[in-house]
Amino acid sequence: MDELAVKLFDIQAVKFGSFTLKSGQVSPIYFDFRLIVSYPAILEKVAGLLWKKCSNNATVDLICGVPYTALPIATLISVTNRVPMLLRRKEAKEYGTKKLIEGDFRPGMNCIIVEDVVTTGTSVLETAIELRKLGIQVTHAIVLLDRRQGGKENLSKHGIELSSVFHVEEIMASLEKQSKVDHKVAEEVMNFIRGNRQPILNRNPRLHVSLEERRSSCKHPIASRLFDLMLAKKSNLCVAADLTSLDDVITLAESIGPKIVVLKIHVDILEDFSLTKIMQLKEVARAHEFLLMEDRKFADIANTVQQQFHGGVYRISEWADLITAHPLPGPEMITHMFGDSSSDSRRTCGCVLVLEMSTKNALTNEDYAKEAAKWGLIASDVVTGFVGQSAPQSDFPGWVQFTPGVNSSSVSGDSKGQQYCSPAKAVLERGADIIIVGRGLIKSPDVVATAETYRSEGWAALTQRITNP
């Protein structure tokens, strides 16, 4: 092991300095195991050590590497030990079979996941979710290096036992013993690892608090109403009714009304908009008890947005229960668009801030979302929640996270930049309270049955997240 640690250091697969990790943490150590493919003897050694962990732990039908670094390692294990391998794609192709898992298997077979480095365990879990969807059992994962920052615990909560060849402590001890790093560096690394041990996937307490408790922290009546509806209807489904006819939206709303808690529209794509018809939709919302969200994504100076919200042909403030707004122009826009403190719409309509977009290459990165969330706190009397693809490290339990880009099919997105994930992933891994489903439902041949499937999957995931943190 000492020898392997030194070899990894010598080929610069272990680096010291200041590195920003996927989680946003700045780490004094970085493992770049992609380099191993260029050193066949090291690759062979690593594959051998991983296989030892494997055969110690379970009877293996199949192995599957987490893309991409672990793929050559898994291939070598497979060939050397004659154990069949499955190939996981990161994204489904938009043509052909659209499979995320390639290879030959039977449901019920067990599969060991192979990974190079585990920090929080998210990548292993993503692979396990795809395998389990096909009926393949996943109870073990093997990894070259466990950074010991919560990955083992997170995976164990999902029924996966993680075995590792190395821990960071062992690598540091080997490198210090062989004078590759001095004591000061070794101590700095170990302090970082010890100081960041809590399971990162559980950082945000909002995710595991009961809906009843969260309702009691709400500052906005529309947020309280939404929690009431979720509890009463056992639903966290919002349907994006992106149709161009308001008559068709009304027909859709009448059929799926009992399954949903929010119906989201884009008023400016409707070809037959009239105030009379939108009031009919409002009546359906009242009868079936769901909220009406106008996804206008306001983003201008307060003076303009105020007129867009209250005036024009749409008179959004007269019928919308929820509206979306980009935080980009700053908190003044959010507070002033509703009018002065006596304006009714401050209490009858809740503002949902778009902190992160679901699209590829969106500029709404982690820093933007973090800063933007502060506007929400400043304008807390009108803000009911946010649109996002991840749970901020900390937010307010009375806010609701809406996550769009949810689609149960294996398609990873559309051809125009939209990106999709499943209801379970949106809720369990990304922190969604409300899942927003558009084409995955409105294009289906049986919208009522599809609404029920999304309702039950979304609700099951939310219940699981709250009861099994």
Q: Considering only residues 29, 64, 278, 357, which one is a binding residue for ligand LLZGTKA7 as defined by CB under 6 A?
A: 357
Identify whether 367 is a catalytic site residue: no
263 Cβ contact partners less than 8 Å away, ≥ 6 residues apart: 238, 239, 241, 249, 253, 257, 281, 285, 290, 291, 292, 293
Binding mask 407-426 for ligand LLZGTKA7 (x = CB under 6 A): x----------x--------
Identify whether 395 is a catalytic site residue: no
User: Taking CB positions, which residue lies at the least distance from ligand LLZGTKA7?
Assistant: 438
Contact status, residue 137 vs residue 110, Cβ threshold 8 Å? yes
Binding mask 280-319 for ligand LLZGTKA7 (x = CB under 6 A): ---------------x------------------------
User: What is the SS3 assignment for 365?
Assistant: coil
In the complex, the smallest distance separating the C-beta of residue 390 from ligand LLZGTKA7, rounded to whole angstroms, is: 12
Name the active-site residue from 7, 45, 277, 297.
297
Identify whether 146 is a catalytic site residue: no
Pairwise CA distance, residues 452 & 458, whole Å: 10
In the complex, the smallest distance separating the C-beta of residue 389 from ligand LLZGTKA7, rounded to whole angstroms, is: 7
Q: Select from 62-70, 110-118, 206-214, 432-440 the region that touches ligand LLZGTKA7 (CB under 6 A).
A: 432-440
- Give Cα 274 to chain centroid, integer Å: 37
Per DSSP (E only), the strands in 70-124 are: 85-88, 101-102, 110-118
Query: Is residue 240 near ligand LLZGTKA7 by the rule CB under 6 A?
Result: yes
Q: Considering only residues 242, 318, 366, 381, which one is a binding residue for ligand LLZGTKA7 as defined by CB under 6 A?
A: 242
Pairwise CA distance, residues 324 & 383, whole Å: 10
Q: Considering only residues 327, 331, 376, 405, which one is a binding residue for ligand LLZGTKA7 as defined by CB under 6 A?
A: 405
Contact status, residue 128 vs residue 160, Cβ threshold 8 Å? yes
212 Cβ contact partners less than 8 Å away, ≥ 6 residues apart: 227, 231
Name the active-site residue from 61, 228, 300, 381.
300
Annotated binding site for substrate: 242, 264, 358, 418, 438-439
AA letter at 230: M
**CB neighbours of residue 347 within 10 Å:** 13
- By the criterion CB under 6 A, which residues form the site for ligand LLZGTKA7? 240, 242, 295, 357-358, 387, 404-405, 407, 418, 436-440
